[in-house]
């Protein structure tokens, strides 16, 4: 069932993330599914230098506003090495702000994090690309 509010949320997320660089592009059409209360977005965005961002985002409207129920934003190099991944997989219960956390670098180090905003993710990508 089509849900225009969730559709708008997903379009905004993709617009912000694709807009990081004039050379970035969606790898293929994003997978979007939803019903009256939930939506799931799966997408892959290509950036300069062969980098890519894989997006998995499940959004709920049960509280009357869009809420990220599950998210994973995995940014990696052309050599398939992790640059960062924000997610809320229910691991690392010892961290403050559990389940939110961030993986960093090729060693996949984990650090405490708050739930990121799309703008924070876009800034992290832009900063990485600027250093290349």
What pLDDT does 98 receive? 94
Taking 70 as the pLDDT cut, the residues of the chain under it are: 1-2
What pLDDT does 1 receive? 62
Q: Are 55 and 78 in contact (CB under 8 A)?
A: no
| Alpha carbons 18 and 28: distance in angstroms, whole number | 12
Token couple for 32: 């979007």
Other CB atoms within 10 Å distance of the CB of residue 85: 19
| Alpha carbons 46 and 21: distance in angstroms, whole number | 10
Q: Are 57 and 10 in contact (CB under 8 A)?
A: yes
């Amino acid at each position: 069932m089509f849900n225009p509010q969730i559709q708008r949320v997903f379009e905004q997320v993709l617009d912000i993330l694709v807009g990081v660089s004039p050379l970035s592009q969606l790898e293929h059409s994003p997978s979007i599914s939803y019903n009256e209360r939930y939506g799931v977005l799966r997408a892959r965005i290509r950036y300069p230098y062969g980098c890519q961002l894989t997006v998995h985002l499940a959004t709920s409207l049960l509280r009357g506003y869009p809420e990220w129920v599950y998210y994973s934003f995995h940014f990696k190099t052309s050599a398939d090495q992790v640059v960062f991944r924000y997610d809320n997989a229910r691991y690392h219960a010892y961290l403050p702000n559990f389940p939110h956390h961030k993986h960093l670098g090729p060693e996949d180090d984990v650090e405490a994090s708050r739930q990121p905003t799309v703008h924070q993710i876009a800034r992290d990508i832009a900063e990485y690309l600027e250093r290349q």
